[in-house]
Amino acid sequence: MLRRIWAVMLKEIRHILRDRITLVLVALAPTFLLFLLAYALTTDIHHVPVAILDMDRSPTSRAFIQQMLLGDDLDLYAQVLTMDELEDLLLDGEVKAALVLHPAFEHDLLSLRGLALQIVVDGTEPQSGGFVVEHIGRRVEDFAAQLLSAQLKARGVSLESLQPIDLRIRTWYNPNMKSKVDLVPGLISMVLGLPGLSVALTLAREHEHGTMEQIMVTPVGRAELLLGKMTPYVITGLANVILSTIIALVWFRVPFRGSFGLFFSLSVIFLFAILSVGIVLGVFIRTQAASLALSFLVIFFPGFFLTGIFFPLASMPSIVRLESYSLPGTHYAHITRASFITGAGLDVLWPYGAALMGMGIVLTAIAAFSFRKKLR
């Protein structure tokens, strides 16, 4: 039995090395796709161009502007003199937001009457505008608190004594709230679905070229044929698991807090499940074009919307959530994020591994049964 599986494995390895499309799909595409999607879909915003109109021109307003521009979040594009100049910059799209300090800025702030400040944002890019409003809002609070603290200290009053509520916010696992820390592990679960697409294509190719019937008249059994075809893609998939983890750690600087041995073992089970999906598709679809289209619809496309990578599962309707948990990528996304970000162990991850194993066994059994029926 092992000898026949080995023979099928060698045949499939030769095909992978000989066929450039298959080689790219299983060896290069996952890594390339991880880079592409991580940079394209990241929501960390930096270097937003802004304009400033300072009508006060006081030492306090200048200190305030300096604090607003600390770091690489906002870039000062221009400091204008009139509202017309500011409007022209927004209309031309040269700046995404503007900060207007009114003439009574210093006087109102020092007399504790309020903050004479206006933020104008370009609504055609709500994400950038919302980021500017949030960023300036935080800096305004810090600036006002520092100024108020200095005034109260001069009068011998502590700022803490005036605050009846002691609110302390602590963010666990991703304290800086960087989107790449959450996004990259989720994307790993999506790009590693490509081996499933590849195995569906290779079975369709056998049907399309008429070589499947020739294989079946050999002493190779159906289970041996399926195992022999799956194994090379499991091996290449595991190589991509290691490579993707290295890229996440070294290039994107995503922390890995869990056990790599556990993560690697669960990745084997995921690849078994996703390749089982590909085998089922390859059994029923006879052409490579149709197999490619259906594989994208079943394996790759749902990864964007139904696996919880971009949209929380809790916000989905019950029937959609049920559909999501029928996908291997949903369970593996939990595994990748928990392994990288929270450092969860087997006590937390075993239900996801068990679900993947169950999917793999059921789908492989369906493929073997349908395979036998089709070739009788």
The three-state (H, E, C) secondary structure of 190-230, written as one string: HHCCHHHHHHHHHHHHHHHHCCHHHHHCCCCCHHHHHHHHH
Tokens 């698991």 correspond to 241
Non-local CB neighbours of 64 within 8 Å, separated by 6+ positions: 101, 105, 143
| Residues found in the chain | 376
Rounded distance between C-alpha atoms, residue 188 and residue 246, angstroms: 11
Beta strands 48-54 and 74-80, pairing class:
parallel
Reported as half-sphere exposure (CB side, CA atoms, 13 A), residue 207 has a value of 21
Q: Are strands 117-121 and 74-80 parallel, antiparallel or unpaired?
A: unpaired
- Look at residues 309, 355, 325 and name the one whose alpha carbon lies nearest to residue 38: 309
Q: How far apart are CA 305 and CA 186, in angstroms?
A: 12
- The pair of three-digit structure tokens given for residue 298, joined into one six-digit string: 């079943």
Going across the sheet that includes 117-121, the strands are 74-80, 48-54, 97-101, 117-121
Q: What is the pLDDT of residue 305?
A: 82
Which pLDDT belongs to residue 185?
Answer: 92
- Which H or E run includes 322? helix 318-324
Helix (H) and strand (E) counts in the chain: 17, 4
Going by their DSSP bridges, the two strands 48-54 and 97-101 should be labelled as: parallel
Strands (E), 73-202: 74-80, 97-101, 117-121
**DSSP-based three-state secondary structure for 123:** coil
3-class DSSP state for residue 146?
helix
Q: What is the pLDDT of residue 150?
A: 63
User: Which residues in 104-140 are b (16+ Cβ under 10 Å) and which e?
Assistant: ebbebbeeeeeebbeebbbeeeeebbebbeebbeebb
Q: Report how far residue 260's alpha carbon sits from residue 257's, in angstroms, rounded to the nearest whole number.
A: 9
Given a cut of 70, the residues of the chain with pLDDT beneath it are: 1, 43-44, 112, 148-169, 209-223, 372-376
CA–CA gap between residue 320 and residue 238 (Å, rounded):
30
Please report which helix (H) or strand (E) contains residue 295, including its range: helix 288-295
How much is the pLDDT for 373? 44
Q: String of b and e for 358-376 (b: at least 16 CB within 10 Å)?
A: ebbeebbeebbeebeeeee
